[in-house]
Amino acid sequence: MTVIDFLNFYIVPGIVLGSIYALGAVGITLVFAILRYAHLAHGDLATLGAFLALAMVQLLGMPVMAALPFVILLTAAVAVGIDRVFYDAFRERPKIITVMSSLGIALMIRAIVQVVWGVDTQTYSRGLVRPEDYFGLRLRDREIYTVIAMIALVVGLQMFLSRSKWGKAMRAMSDNPNLALLSGIDNRKVVMLTWVISGGLCAAAGVFLGLNTELKPMMGWSMLLPMFAAAILGGVGRVEGAVLGGLIVGIAEELSVLVLPSEYKAAMAFAILLVMLLVRPTGLLRGKVL
């Protein structure tokens, strides 16, 4: 196997898959850093975003990339609505109650997807897409779009968190929620913004996963473990850590097929998760301890 073949068959797919994991992991790390619990409905929220994009493609004839901004807004609104209707009542209760309720929300979202769109595998478009040759690297347009969109969304989020008033409020809530409340920060607005960003990133992750693979009602559930592994590997609460973790997990999964059957890809994410929790619970970039 030549170096170019190695890059084309393992590294490029790993980076694309890692970019998808990174988008989901950023949402997970924000929810944990600000709200202090693990959101188990994250994967199924991504599935909902992917199928909402499918509805726009089929019913309105929109290209999937043109539908993406609308899907991000719709899924963000759904995430805020779920928080207001379900999670808000548990805000002062032990966090484990909210975690378990998020599992129920995941099952509910999955059931809605199965009822509305069915259980069969679907795609945004039919037919083969031939890759273009870039100095030996064979890349499809959708792979380039995935990586560029991930970089653009993460850079935009980092600028929002570091320069805007509400971004700084979110960082303050993450660092010290009690002190942030005493300084006059509106907790409800911070929570709403957290769900807007998390839901939007979920939608993007789901759409790009569906664009690069296929759409299945269980697609979000299967990417939940790798997204959590990416968030923990990079350091919970660190946006750049979630991106780093996502890329490492994605590349590690693709490289694992060199020594393991492809059915065991998910085992690589699980192994990374366990090792990181045992060896360095704060992650590579020293995030919060779970």
Residue 176: its pLDDT value, please?
78
Position 221 pLDDT exceeds 80: yes
End-to-end CA distance of the chain: give it in Å, rounded: 41
pLDDT class for 267, splitting at 50, 70, 90?
confident
Which are the contacts of 278, defined by CB distance < 8 A and separation ≥ 6?
Answer: none
- CB distance 255 to 214 below 8 Å: no
Q: How far is CA 89 from CA 29, 85, 225, 284, in A?
A: 22, 8, 27, 34
Summarize pLDDT for 162-184 with one digit per residue, the tens: 888 888 888 888 877 777 777 77
Residues forming a β-bridge with 133: 138
Q: How far is CA 64 from CA 103, 125, 141, 185, in A?
A: 29, 9, 13, 38
Which are the contacts of 251, defined by CB distance < 8 A and separation ≥ 6?
Answer: 10, 11, 14, 15, 18
**Pick from 50-54, 82-86, 138-142, 269-273: least confident:** 269-273
Domain 3-120+141-279 falls in which CATH fold? ABC transporter involved in vitamin B12 uptake, BtuC (1.10.3470)
Long-range CB contacts (within 8 A, 24+) of 141-146: 142/208, 142/211, 142/212, 143/12, 143/16, 143/212, 145/65, 145/208, 145/211, 146/16, 146/19, 146/20, 146/208, 146/211, 146/212
| Phi and psi torsions of 215, nearest 5° | -100, 120
Summarize pLDDT for 229-257 with one digit per residue, the tens: 999 988 888 889 999 999 999 999 888 88
Whole-number Å distance between alpha carbons of 267 and 255? 12
Position 90 pLDDT exceeds 90: no
Position 146 pLDDT exceeds 80: yes
Tell the residue number behind the tokens 């290209």, with chain if given: 63
Side chain identity, residue 102: S
Residue 91: its pLDDT value, please?
83
The model's pTM = 0.93
Taken in order 129, 132, 138, 140, is the CA torsion positive or negative?
A: negative
